[in-house]
Amino acid sequence: MIIALLTVSRGIEFSGAFSRVAPKVISVSGGSPARLVTLIALVVALSSAVIMNDTAMFIFVPLVVTISRLTRMDRVKAVVMTVIAANVGSALTPIGNPQNIIIWRRYGLTPHEFVAGMAPYVAAWLALLVMLVLLTHKEEGRIAALPMPRVKVKGALLTSSVALLILNVVLAQAGQPLIGLAVTFATLALVGREAILSLDVPLILIFALIFVDFQEVSHIIMKAGVLNTSSLNPVPMALVAALLSQVVGNVPATVMLISASPSPPWLPLAVGVNAGGTGAVIGSLANLIAVRIAGIRLRDFHRYSAPFFLASLTTSALIMWSLP
């Protein structure tokens, strides 16, 4: 699925759609960097709740990079706020990210139960994100789009790429990602060969190595029996899930904790692993995708993600402690 979505995102980028949309997004902000980044973050958060955070990164990060280039706005801050928004927004729904899908199916929850349980935490995280955007952009002056040649959108490539995006998401949820990959390559070989030729092979290899390593780490930890969550209250359980996500990623952490006997309550687990995705770059696959696409250094990413993670974790603990 990742390879297919990466290829599709390159197809949308090569179609020229981002270059046409970016000036319109900039104009809506009225020249305010804080308003622009807030608008992008809210749109990304809403989208991620429906199309998954990883998919959202392939769509929105190239757009944010284009906007940053047009306005000379701080690219690092804009991209980090975007990926935090994706992780936060995806936490709301049972289909927003892989860890939520796992929890939703394992505990047999209705969509309403899941959304109702996560809503207070997601609302608090969004408020924290808006505060972070305002604090980090308060010293920046007004922005305006720099002049650029008018770009002609390649209609066939754009239409095909959007259709392939939808197809890959549907097939991935149906458990048939290889069919989506085959259709993607066959289609783009005809209408947008440049998208295939520009594939980020190192990024694909990084993902493969990470998944192999995480599976080994998960196996070792579970075999050692060091994860005993049966005696933990909700707040400590959420903290364990969040901190474990910083080491192995939030999806492997979810699988590991669910495999414990007995399995922990679903809400502290969901809150912990979703909050954990906003911290270390390894905490969420969306983080890795965004960092690689935008070319951001890990030190710069953690300059903003680490404070947000600590604030969101503290806020989540207070909410969980105060709610019945």
Residue range 244-293, pLDDT digits in tens? 999 888 888 888 888 766 778 899 999 999 999 999 998 888 898 889 88
Alpha carbon of 120 to those of 116, 136, 141, 279: distances in Å? 8, 25, 34, 20
Provide the residue range defining the domain that includes 216.
17-151+200-322
89 lies in some domain: yes
Phi, psi of 98 (to 5 degrees): -60, -40
Comparison of pLDDT for 312 and 209, the residue scoring more: 312
Residues 6+ apart with CB under 8 A from 53: 86, 87, 89, 90, 96, 97, 277, 284, 286
Q: How confident is the model at residue 176 (pLDDT cuts 50, 70, 90)?
A: confident
As a whole number, mean pLDDT of residues 297-304 equals: 92
For 27-36, 80-89, 115-124, 274-283, which range has the lowest pLDDT when averaged over its residues? Answer: 27-36
pLDDT of 71: 78
Q: Would 183 be classed as within a structural domain?
A: no
Query: pLDDT, tens digit, for every residue of 93-135?
Result: 887 888 887 888 788 888 889 999 999 999 999 999 999 998 8
pLDDT at 309: 95
- Would you say residue 123 lies in a domain? yes
Question: What's the whole-model pTM score?
Answer: 0.76
Number of compact structural domains in the chain? 1
Task: Confirm whether 168 is domain-assigned.
Answer: no
Instruction: Choose the weakest-confidence range: 161-175, 269-283, 298-312.
Output: 161-175
CB of 124 closer than 8 Å to CB of 51 = no
Instruction: Calculate the average pLDDT of the chain.
Output: 79
Residue 64 inside a domain? The answer is: yes
Q: 294 in helix, strand or coil?
A: helix
Confidence class of residue 25 from pLDDT cuts 50, 70 and 90? low
Instruction: Name the band, by pLDDT with cuts 50, 70 and 90, for residue 203.
Output: low
- Name which residue leads in pLDDT, 185 or 45: 45
* Backbone φ, ψ for residue 21 (5° rounding): -80, -35
Q: Give the pLDDT confidence score for residue 165 in this predicted structure.
A: 75
d(CA 193, CA 187): 9
Which pLDDT score, from 0 to 100, does residue 19 have? 57
pLDDT > 70 in the chain, percent: 73
∠ CA(9), CA(17), CA(92), 5° rounding?
A: 55
Asked whether residue 108 is domain-assigned, the answer is yes
Task: Say whether the peptide bond before residue 177 is cis (omega within 30 degrees of 0).
Answer: no
Q: Using 50, 70 and 90 to split pLDDT, how confident is the model at 194?
A: confident
Average pLDDT over residues 28-33: 71
pLDDT for position 222: 54
For 127-144, what is each residue's pLDDT tens digit? Answer: 999 999 988 877 666 665
Q: Which two tokens stand for residue 115?
A: 């959304």
Taking 70 as the threshold, does the pLDDT of residue 296 lie above it?
yes
Predicted local confidence at residue 104, as pLDDT? 83
Is 156 contained in some domain?
A: no
| Segment 180-187 mean pLDDT | 82
Residue 182 in any domain: the answer is no
